[in-house]
A and B are shown apart, each in its own frame.
Chain A
Amino acid sequence: MEKSKIIEVKDLVFCYPDGTKAIEDISIDFYDGEFIAFIGTNGCGKTTFSKCLNGILKATSGTIKVNGIDVVHTKDCTELVKNIGYVFQNPDHQLFNNNIYDEIAYAPRNLRIPEDEVKQRVTEAAAIAGVTPEVFEEHPFFQVKGIRQRIAIASILSLRPKVIIVDEPTTGQDYKQSIEVMEFLKMLNEKHGHTIIIITHEMDIVAEYAKRVVVMTGGRVLSEGSVQEVFAQTELLEKANIKPPQVTRLAQRLESVGFDNNIISPEKMFEQWRQLAKQPVGK
């Protein structure tokens, strides 16, 4: 089945006002329904790139199209936010209403959506994000970090954007919370058909959840492809200072005895080991 393009980026360059050229030259396409991870060292331009994608930062040159909308030149930001949502790294920057209900309702109200539909959207977004109606009256600021993050995501979900970008969803969270956030994004991707882009430094998370990986260094895309393809490129990853997950590195070390170099899960490793163990010794 041919998937349709949802984001088209061509010759993108971005400079900050102080002259830092954070994006050198990027051309890449993303497809409807993908689950993508941006990886790369600190300061390689992941955040800048994703802010360009949804028009928060206006590209210095090049073109970006999201669902056919020209992100760089459009004046109508409401049309844009309906298509692409961006969840900031720190939830505290994006919560400014007095209670959780208004917080989630804030974006649809900006789009002048009638109040009864707003209500429906809030209920739906909150339910998906796991925010229960009992806390609707509470102040978003005084929730624990995991909940604040969910409220931040719910407040974007109520826009029902086709693409959702989440900047470092698991940074600073414990294992359980990380898994919860990631399972939640996975559900949005699989059940609700949202295209998900995450930015992360955690390769285990990438291996487990992402379908496609974009490796960035110095404001460029160094490599991209399926998770297996990318993690198999040992030398390239070294250049970008990225270490594949432990299980992948173990398999790569054992390549000479017959393991594949693109194993990304312990289950797959175990399966291969079972197969190899069945073969006669010496072969």
Chain B
Amino acid sequence: MEQTRKMQRTIIGYIPAESPMYALHPVARLILFLATGLLPLFIEAPEYNVLFIIIIFFMLKYSHVNLSRLKIFLPMMITVGIIINLTYFFFPINTEEGLIIFSIGRFNAHFHSFMWAMSIYIRIIALLLASIFYFSTNRERDILVGFRTLGFPFIVSYFFGLILRSAGIFLEDYAIIREAEQARGLDVRNLSFGGKVKHFSMYLVPLFTLSIRKCEDISIGLFSKGTELSGKVDGKKRPDYLKHKMKLQRTDKWIIATIIAASLAVVYFDLVVDSFSLENAWLYRTLRHTWFNL
């Protein structure tokens, strides 16, 4: 069939087939994901993590991911923010310093708690954005090749593959169910927020029933192909078609080396120099100074 603008379907969207992301080897992409997603978890200082978020945004833009799709994650990001802030408001930590921003009744908003909530929140957002980036720029097979090349055991990548596959099927079913609903005159735009939540729960019945029916099909399929959960076949290593087709290029190696070096640097500065702790953070000290003159 004729193509207008060639797009490549990824796990959660489409990016143009000629996106620069596709020039990289899956392993480079996986390591990039692990670095951008996991490194912020080691860093408490919010300003550095904001830097990470900015970098991820640049990568999204550079890979031509449609940024307007991020909108659908907005409700989730806001909810997470509210929950974390409320938790630290009602169950504050490190209160001995007694710095209080404001009070409601007998509950006090402690400065340290507030900053800690912010630090956690930004780290979660960085991880979330890194995941969105990874899953918007990778196809199922890229992810699997990445896993296999990094030397994960066969079973791990195998299970991960099945999970990805079912996630794909799940999303596809979800889209069709929504279409079916539209065909029966439901206008989701007219629903209140509560209505939308209640409504979402209705989808769960067909989604899970379909999943269960398909799970059974898949397991029978695996059984009938004589699947054994082992990386070896007759004592030899299981061959992997895609892994052989994709080779690491010079750029990939440079990227991987840079990321590893940067990660080591982060770990060094975190553990040895303690540059990334919340108390030493520029933002923390500035706010403490402006609000409490300390």
B183 near A156: Cβ-Cβ < 8 Å: yes
B3 near A19: Cβ-Cβ < 8 Å: yes
Chain A CB within 8 A of B210 CB: yes
Chain B CB within 8 A of A269 CB: no
A78 near B7: Cβ-Cβ < 8 Å: no
CA distance A141 to B8 in the complex (A): 35
Give the residue name and chain of the A residue nearest to B5 (CB).
A19
B182 near A77: Cβ-Cβ < 8 Å: yes
CA distance A17 to B9 in the complex (A): 9
A70-96 toward B: CB 8 Å interface, digit per residue (1/0)? 000000011001100110101011111
Chain B CB within 8 A of A33 CB: no
In the complex, which residues of chain A have a beta carbon less than 8 angstroms from the beta carbon of B184?
81, 94, 106-107, 110, 155-156, 159
Chain A CB within 8 A of B180 CB: yes
A92 near B213: Cβ-Cβ < 8 Å: yes
Q: Which of A93, A155, A219 is within 8 Å of B1, CB to CB?
A: A219
6 residue pairs of the A-B complex, CB under 8 angstroms, read: A24-B2, A56-B179, A94-B177, A106-B184, A110-B185, A156-B184
Give the residue name and chain of the A residue nearest to B2 (CB).
A21
CA distance A211 to B6 in the complex (A): 39
CA distance A159 to B8 in the complex (A): 38
CA distance A110 to B195 in the complex (A): 13
B1-21 toward A: CB 8 Å interface, digit per residue (1/0)? 111111111000010000000
Chain B CB within 8 A of A20 CB: yes
A77 near B176: Cβ-Cβ < 8 Å: no
A218 → chain B closest CB, angstroms: 7
Could you tell me how many residues of chain B have their Cβ less than 8 Å away from some Cβ of chain A? Answer: 29
Taking CB atoms and an 8 Å cut-off, the chain A residues in 269-283 that contact chain B are: none
Other A-B pairs, 20, CB within 8 Å; known A92-B210, A96-B181: A15-B4, A19-B4, A20-B1, A22-B1, A55-B182, A56-B179, A77-B182, A85-B183, A86-B183, A92-B213, A93-B210, A94-B183, A96-B177, A96-B205, A106-B184, A110-B184, A110-B185, A141-B206, A218-B1, A219-B1
B148 → chain A closest CB, angstroms: 26
A54 near B1: Cβ-Cβ < 8 Å: no
Give the residue name and chain of the B residue nearest to A23 (CB).
B1
A96 → chain B closest CB, angstroms: 5
Contacts A56-B179, A94-B180; A17 near B14 (Cβ below 8 A)? yes
Chain A CB within 8 A of B290 CB: no
Contacts A18-B7, A21-B2; A93 near B206 (Cβ below 8 A)? yes
Chain A CB within 8 A of B209 CB: yes
A202-230 toward B: CB 8 Å interface, digit per residue (1/0)? 00000000000000001100000000000
In the complex, which residues of chain A have a beta carbon less than 8 angstroms from the beta carbon of B203?
96
B198-219 toward A: CB 8 Å interface, digit per residue (1/0)? 0000110110011001000000
CA distance A218 to B235 in the complex (A): 48
CA distance A218 to B183 in the complex (A): 26
In the complex, which residues of chain A have a beta carbon less than 8 angstroms from the beta carbon of B182?
55-56, 77
Chain A CB within 8 A of B167 CB: no
In the complex, which residues of chain A have a beta carbon less than 8 angstroms from the beta carbon of B5?
19
In the complex, which residues of chain A have a beta carbon less than 8 angstroms from the beta carbon of B202?
96-97
Taking CB atoms and an 8 Å cut-off, the chain A residues in 11-34 that contact chain B are: 15, 17-22, 24
Contacts A19-B6, A22-B1; A93 near B176 (Cβ below 8 A)? yes
In the complex, which residues of chain B have a beta carbon less than 8 angstroms from the beta carbon of A257?
none
CA distance A15 to B90 in the complex (A): 52
Q: Which of B2, B3, B7, B206 is within 8 Å of A17, CB to CB?
A: B7
A235 → chain B closest CB, angstroms: 23
CA distance A20 to B185 in the complex (A): 28
Chain B CB within 8 A of A133 CB: no
B1 near A78: Cβ-Cβ < 8 Å: no
Chain B CB within 8 A of A43 CB: yes
Chain B CB within 8 A of A111 CB: yes
Contacts A21-B2, A219-B1; A96 near B206 (Cβ below 8 A)? yes
In the complex, which residues of chain B have a beta carbon less than 8 angstroms from the beta carbon of A85?
183
In the complex, which residues of chain B have a beta carbon less than 8 angstroms from the beta carbon of A107?
184-185
In the complex, which residues of chain A have a beta carbon less than 8 angstroms from the beta carbon of B47?
none
In the complex, which residues of chain A have a beta carbon less than 8 angstroms from the beta carbon of B187?
77-78, 110
B7 → chain A closest CB, angstroms: 4
A196 → chain B closest CB, angstroms: 16
Nearest 7 A/B pairs, CB to CB = A94-B180, A107-B184, A81-B185, A110-B185, A18-B7, A93-B176, A21-B2
User: Which of A43, A77, A82, A218 neighbours the largest number of chain B CB atoms within 10 Å of its CB?
Assistant: A77
Give the residue name and chain of the B residue nearest to A44 (CB).
B1
In the complex, which residues of chain B have a beta carbon less than 8 angstroms from the beta carbon of A19?
3-7
In the complex, which residues of chain B have a beta carbon less than 8 angstroms from the beta carbon of A43?
1
In the complex, which residues of chain A have a beta carbon less than 8 angstroms from the beta carbon of B7?
17-19
In the complex, which residues of chain A have a beta carbon less than 8 angstroms from the beta carbon of B209?
92, 141
